[in-house]
Amino acid sequence: MVSRYPPRPRLTRLDTKAFSLSSISSASSTATSVVSISSPRILTDLVPKPSQLGSMGDEQQPPAARSQLPPGVEESLHLQDLELMMHWCTTTYRSMARDHAAEMLWQMAIPQLALRYPALRHGLLALSALQLAQNSPRPEHKWRYLSSARDHHRHALAGIHVDCGEDVPTAQCNALFALCCVLLAFSFAYGLMDEPDEEDQTEGSDVLEDFLEVFELTRWLVGVMMMTTDRVADGELYSLVRPEPTRPTMPDMSQLVILALRRQNAEEATRNPSHEKEVYEQALEHLRQALEHLMNGGEPKDFAFCWTFRIPARFQDLLRDREPFALVVLAHYAVILHHLRESWWMGHWGTRILKEIVDYLDPEWRELICWPIDATGCLLPEE
């Protein structure tokens, strides 16, 4: 339901990087010029407001979505864009796929679809540029690619227009679904990028604050994807939303862990009347389902991010307030993110989150996150 969308995501970290890069791109004579949109001051103004998403009755068919750039924007591919598309088709696409069939879609079908839908094309170029930036040893190349990634990302976000209607072609639903997948990966990858003056910073970044911004945008993007899933399942991208059955690949200790957390949740509610037991119970139930998929050999790309959409929005507030039990639950979710670490755009988000949670928790709460620490092999600094 559209009403489950969170408020407009706050992307302060991305906005800050955008401003820091603007001076670099303007000073560099080698920076590639990009067709500009009449843009607001910050990136978040490009994300559609909930009021723009319309409403949907229960009796309606699953809604479709339109993806288009604002009127008056002319498209042109520059030499760097050709380089970025080449890199996508030879390298970046692999990180989005879970198997050979999906690789073929991300390497061929989706780039072909991007020729018809500019927002999707900008999304592919943005993620490709971000990977090149991450792998570039020379600072001037790194920040040139990063500046290009930001520009394409801005255009891609501007192209997300969600309309409900049965007359929308399946191809447009496919384009929107693929674009949301790419933007989701972009958000995690961008959070891993170094700041231009990171060596001069005296304070380390707050990993949890960075993650909460990515978390909120992920929740919004997954919501858009959920609106188009049924239509995508009937088109050429059906294998992206209908994974093959899997078999268990490891002993499932997670269900015992979830049971222990539920008992702890009940005890906390008994001790503290203000403890929001029902919010935690819903978060734990959806976490149980995600961990069950993981232990049964499922590909984390298929289910890892659904948790952010299905849990109550109130849980995000509890995380922002650094409520100990909310951090304990998040520590267990980090196990799922850890299983995506081979994807360059995810990296070590899982263990980074775990290490920061350990710093926030008192010793009596740390006992509740022994399983995530063991399951990820997270190395904690000696006290």
Measured between alpha carbons, how far is 203 from 219 in angstroms, rounded to an integer? 29
> What pLDDT score does 165 carry?
56
pTM of the model: 0.78
The continuous run of DSSP H or E covering 67 comes out as strand 66-67
pLDDT digits 0-9 by tens, 287-310: 999 998 888 888 899 899 999 999
Neighbouring residues of 357: CB distance < 8 A, sequence distance ≥ 6: 208, 327, 328, 330, 331, 334, 369
Measured between alpha carbons, how far is 369 from 48 in angstroms, rounded to an integer? 37
> What pLDDT score does 245 carry?
65
pLDDT digits 0-9 by tens, 325-340: 999 999 999 999 999 9
The torsion angles phi and psi of 287, rounded to 5 degrees, stand at: -65, -40
How confident is the model over 282-289, as a mean pLDDT? 95
Structure tokens at 336: 């799922």
Neighbouring residues of 30: CB distance < 8 A, sequence distance ≥ 6: 140, 144
CB 143, CB 87: distance < 8 Å:
no
Structure tokens at 99: 């198997």
The span from the first CA to the last CA of the chain, in angstroms, equals 47
Q: How do strand 66-67 and strand 160-161 relate by DSSP bridges? A: antiparallel
Residue 214 has pLDDT above 80, yes or no: yes
Residue with tokens 């069950």: 292
Measured between alpha carbons, how far is 13 from 26 in angstroms, rounded to an integer? 20
CB 354, CB 369: distance < 8 Å:
yes
Residue 200 has pLDDT above 60, yes or no: no
Residue 40 has pLDDT above 50, yes or no: no
Task: Report the range of poorest mean pLDDT among 9-18, 123-132, 212-221, 332-341.
Answer: 9-18
Report the interhelical angle of 324-338 vs 254-271 (nearest 10°).
170
Average pLDDT of the chain to the nearest whole number: 78
Domain boundaries of the chain, sorted by first residue: 2-231, 254-376
Share of the chain above pLDDT 70, in %: 72
How many CB atoms neighbour CB 114 within 10 A? 22
Exposure string of 126-165, with b = 16+ CB inside 10 Å and e = fewer, is bbbbbbbbbeeeeeeebbbbbbbbbbbbbbbbbbbbbbbe
CA distances from 59 to 116, 199, 325 (A): 31, 56, 38
> What pLDDT score does 272 carry?
93
Of 133-147, 204-218, 357-371, give the range with the top mean pLDDT: 357-371
Strand pairing partners for 67?
Answer: 160
Residue 5 has pLDDT above 90, yes or no: no
> What pLDDT score does 371 carry?
93
Give the confidence band of 370 by pLDDT, cuts at 50, 70, 90: very high
CB 128, CB 88: distance < 8 Å:
yes
**180 Cα distance to chain centroid:** 9
Neighbouring residues of 241: CB distance < 8 A, sequence distance ≥ 6: 177, 229, 232, 233
Measured between alpha carbons, how far is 327 from 366 in angstroms, rounded to an integer? 10
Residue 60 has pLDDT above 50, yes or no: no
pLDDT digits 0-9 by tens, 75-121: 445 788 999 999 999 999 999 998 888 999 999 999 999 999 999 99
pLDDT digits 0-9 by tens, 336-355: 999 999 999 999 999 999 99
Type of residue numbered 214: V
> What pLDDT score does 382 carry?
61
Residue 11 has pLDDT above 60, yes or no: no
> What pLDDT score does 261 carry?
96
Task: Report the range of poorest mean pLDDT among 32-41, 66-75, 128-137, 373-382.
Answer: 32-41
